[in-house]
Amino acid sequence: MNEDTRLRDGIGLRGDGQGPPHSGGVPGAGRSPAAVTGVYAALDLGTNNCRLLIACPTGDSFRVVDSFSRIIRLGEGISATGCISDAAIDRAIAALSICRDKIQSRKAKRLRLIATEACRAASNADGFMDRVAAETGIRLEVIDRETEAALAVTGCSPLLDPKGRGAILFDIGGGSTELVRIERDPEQENAVPRIKAWMSIPLGVVSLAEAFGGKDVTPQSYAAMVAEVAQHIAPFAAEHGADLGGMHLLGTSGTVTTLAGVHLNLPRYDRRRIDGVWMSDADLTATVARLLCMTYQERAGNHCISIERADLVLAGCAILDAIRSAFPLPRLRVADRGLREGMLVEMMRADGALSGSR
């Protein structure tokens, strides 16, 4: 029995997460414990959010049976102190305890439980993860930025325009932002999109808002945020930003899903309306301008933003505007999906649990 993929006496939840980022598989996959229940779980502990998705394979996809998402701001203050704060640790453990209970109640036996930029950057990350393991039984795997980019591609690639050549995919996180150029081989019919190039910058909505201010954003401070991000993106754009014919932007993050909700004037956030929606360059410009004209209180009162994102959304818009300037494409497709979906697909493919994956 491979204990990395089993629940032992209801505790000791460990993910697989040791395979190379582009392998689509993990050690021990040939003897999948998910065969017992058919239930898989993917957890993403980010700099801003804690997210869980539990699903069962069905055909060439999967059916979600449970989920959880909570803004915990794990990375709050790390840029200044270098450490995860006690308050953030308490918030994370409370959220992870809920995740543990859901994993156990759904009898998920095949797991991947990852952490990203906050745990890559914090000097006390090892102590934090030890405490998480002791108090919740969850043993986190800290993934590198390349793995993060690859999982985002796996999770979001179903939203690529089937008639297009490819996309510039971006994932705006709390503490880092990943950019990936994905293309299909034009010589092959029904070609699978491939990663042509990728990059990651150590700036996300939390770190940028802390550096420049997120509540009271002026045109000047907003322009400064855009310029800061643009400096980091410029080398990648210079090398990979040419020849964009047949391409579109593909965004996965709270920033783009929030923008889509505001653009559609939704009375409350609705994933079914958001995931896969197209926004034109003009739509994006108008929606960002609308947010810039709002006060912090107005942003907090908008049901698609809420008080949890009111001081972060403009930092996210600044990152998006820097990306749009570097890669001037006419359309953006919004993805309310990402790392969790990528992990589920990779595990299920490795087990041969999806049609055509054996």
Give the whole-angstrom CA distance, residue 298 versus residue 302. Answer: 6
**Where do we find the tokens 């991000």?**
229
Per-residue pLDDT band for 204 (boundaries 50, 70, 90) equals very high
The domain defined by 159-337 folds into Nucleotidyltransferase; domain 5 (3.30.420)
Position 21 scores a pLDDT of 33
At 109, give phi and psi (nearest 5°).
-115, -15
Burial degree of 20 (CB within 10 A; 0-12, 13-18, 19+): exposed
Share of residues in the chain with pLDDT > 70 (%): 87
- Sequence ranges of the chain with CATH classification 3.30.420.150: 159-337
> Rounded to an integer, what distance in angstroms lies between the CA atom of residue 209 and that of residue 173?
12
Q: Which residues make up the CATH 3.30.420.40 domain(s) of the chain?
A: 3-146+340-350
Over residues 282-291, mean pLDDT:
97
SS3 200: strand
Asked if pLDDT for residue 36 goes beyond 90, the answer is no
Q: What is the pTM of this model?
A: 0.84
Report pLDDT digits (tens) over 3-27.
232 232 334 666 654 333 333 333 3
Residue 213 has pLDDT above 80, yes or no: yes
- State the chain's mean pLDDT as an integer: 88
Averaged over 49-68, what is the pLDDT?
A: 94
- Structure confidence by residue, pLDDT tens digits, 130-177: 999 999 999 999 999 999 999 999 999 999 998 889 999 999 999 899
CA angle, 13 as apex, 146 and 32 as ends, to 5°? 75
Beta-strand (E) ranges in the chain?
13-14, 40-45, 49-58, 61-71, 110-115, 138-139, 141-142, 166-172, 177-183, 194-201, 247-252, 278-280, 331-335
Return the CATH fold of 3-146+340-350. Nucleotidyltransferase; domain 5 (3.30.420)
- pLDDT tens readout for residues 214-269: 999 999 999 999 999 999 999 999 999 999 999 999 999 899 999 999 999 999 88
Per-residue pLDDT tens digits for 304-340 = 998 989 999 999 999 999 999 999 999 999 999 999 9
- Residue 209 scores a pLDDT above 60: yes
The answer to whether 99 and 324 are in contact (CB under 8 A) is no
Residue 29 banded pLDDT, cuts 50, 70, 90: very low
